[in-house]
Chains A and B, each alone.
Chain A
Amino acid sequence: MKRYSAFAIAREALRYHTGWERAWGNPEPKKRYDVVIVGAGGHGLATAFYLGKNFGITNVAVIEKGWLGGGNTGRNTTIIRSNYLQDPSAAIYEKSRSLYETMSQDVNMNVMFSPRGVIMLAQTHHEVRGYERTAHANALQGVDTTFIGPEKVKELVPIINIDGPRYPVLGGLWQPRGGTARHDAVAWGYARACAGMGMDIIQNCAVQGVETEGGQVKAVNTTKGRIECGKLALVVAGHSSDLAEMAGFRLPIESVALQALVSEPIKPCMDVVVMANTVHGYMSQSDKGEMVIGGGTDGFNNYTQRGSFHHIEETVRALVETFPMISRLKMLRQWGGIVDMTGDRSPIISKTPVGNIFVNCGWGTGGFKAIPGSGWAMAELVAKGEPGPLAAEFGVDRFREGRFIDESVAAGVAH
């Protein structure tokens, strides 16, 4: 694979761009792979990438029922942060955030990582106390966050209304190293790097059944035929329960729709990410100028990738109160993704009842930020058969043992 570089652009400019090669191939599945990864979203591709990079395992297929990065990887609001309260969460999300810093170099594609800073607004006294506590916890965990007052919030975000009638801004948890990245480029970068290591990325290939024998997986049956595998990794977010059922076990997961929307593009007006968890809305401005807005989840199980309209109304109402200047913005697009919610709102990176099947799921509403860290930890689990330090706490057995990583109570997540 030819490297992307300034020199390559100059060389191709001189020969009318005739020398660019395909970023990744479109292979037919081989009969057998050492590792088959189901799901060519960010997490699945990152798992494949680190299997190759950290463990030298390259006889790998990543199979995908739709198109590459067409699920939640292409449907999120691209926020990257690691200001979580619990130690296991802070460890894996901070690892992930730090891997984003060098991802463009690691995969040789510009993923447009923009460490512009993330503010989580405190709009009740309860939130002020919660975020002060998180800032102290982050100091101990080595995560760079501070609690800032309303004047500092106003200085960082001039368009914000800090004196709202219902929920005035009382402060915020500020993570200057958080930010955003180009979500498609993350999937494309990993896919190209994986293809460069000789892995097969097989799109339009839906899994229809999982063949097990004596507590071990033998093969997966797909719309492109039977594929034998030494190990199987299920990295399919909202459809994890469906795949687990094919393999004969259950997961503590419920799938719901989470929505986002973008406005028409406007001149640059906000150069940080602002999250307002009390009123359920978060907003950042893309490089194209669109305001990217994330909303709430539906409360009921749903596989439709749409979501209920009244959630958009609630989100927009809350954001208009927080940012009065957006009240006359027109919204361009709205979409939904199917997110996999666990009971404690923390992910699952785990062994399963089937010996050589591993699952990576349950990232819920916050999976994009975790992509590289999740792939790093999952690759170690798949390669060694046992979780490393990053994944150890995220085993599915924690629900039986009562060893929760309770980020829903810690308000480290947006929902």
Chain B
Amino acid sequence: MLILTCPYCGVEADETELAPGGEAHLKRATVGDSDEAFEAYLFDRANPKGVHFERWRHAYGCGKWFLAARHTVTLEVYGTYKAQTPEPTKEIVAAIKKRLPEWEGRG
């Protein structure tokens, strides 16, 4: 069972306690943006076979949104971090590189 540590309350929560929220770090399209920008924001997804940055909510705990880096094939979790983070943090990138030296970064 998938277990993630909530970066806010520190609880190790299994997936039945969490609500998945899809890809993280999407650039929000806004008024005046092109149709392409809206399509990219709403529908285009990286969907990698590898490292995935994603949003989770500690739904049956503290209720807060947070972000996680996880491998979609091995289900290995590289770490979780706070949602107020526009790009993956240095610590999380280092944690991924340590396990996957050949990883080329977020596509």
Contacts and interface: CB of A to CB of B under 8 A. Distances in A.
Interface of A: 239, 241-242, 245, 250-255, 298-304, 308-310, 342-343, 399-401
Given A299-B19, A304-B75, A310-B16, A250 B45 contact: yes
Contacts of A301: 23, 47-48, 52, 54, 72
Given A308-B2, A400-B39, A300 B20 contact: yes
A309 B16 CA distance: 10
Report the 6 A-B pairs with minimum CB-CB distance, sorted nearest first: A252-B43, A241-B47, A299-B20, A300-B20, A400-B39, A399-B43
Contact of A308 (B15, B19, B35, B107): B15
Nearest to A342: B43
B19 A303 contact: no
B107 A245 contact: yes
B1 A250 contact: no
Contacts of B44: 250-252
Nearest to B16: A310
B28 interface: no
Interface in B42-61: 42-49, 52, 54
Contact of A302 (B23, B43, B75): B75
B70 to A, nearest CB: 8
A255 B52 CA distance: 12
Given A300-B70, A400-B39, 18 more contacts: A241-B46, A242-B47, A252-B45, A253-B47, A300-B54, A301-B47, A301-B48, A301-B54, A302-B72, A302-B75, A303-B72, A303-B73, A304-B72, A310-B15, A343-B42, A400-B35, A400-B36, A400-B38
A239 B1 contact: no
A253 B45 contact: yes
Contacts, number: 66
B35 A401 contact: yes
Nearest to B107: A245
Contacts of A251: 44, 47
A93 B36 CA distance: 30
A254 B72 contact: no
21 contacts: A241-B45, A241-B47, A250-B44, A252-B43, A253-B45, A253-B47, A254-B22, A299-B19, A300-B15, A300-B54, A300-B70, A304-B72, A304-B73, A304-B75, A309-B1, A310-B15, A342-B43, A399-B39, A399-B43, A400-B35, A400-B36
A291 B42 CA distance: 39
A402 to B, nearest CB: 8
Contact of A343 (B15, B43, B47, B48): B43
A405 to B, nearest CB: 13
Contacts of A309: 1
A113 to B, nearest CB: 34
Nearest to B50: A303
Nearest to B75: A304
Nearest to B56: A300
Nearest to A306: B75
- Among A242, A251, A301, A302, the most chain B Cβ lie within 10 Å of the Cβ of A301
A298 B2 CA distance: 11
A239 B42 CA distance: 20
Q: Report which residue of B1, B38, B47, B75 has the largest number of chain A beta carbons within 10 angstroms of its beta carbon.
A: B47
Contacts of B22: 254
A164 B2 CA distance: 32
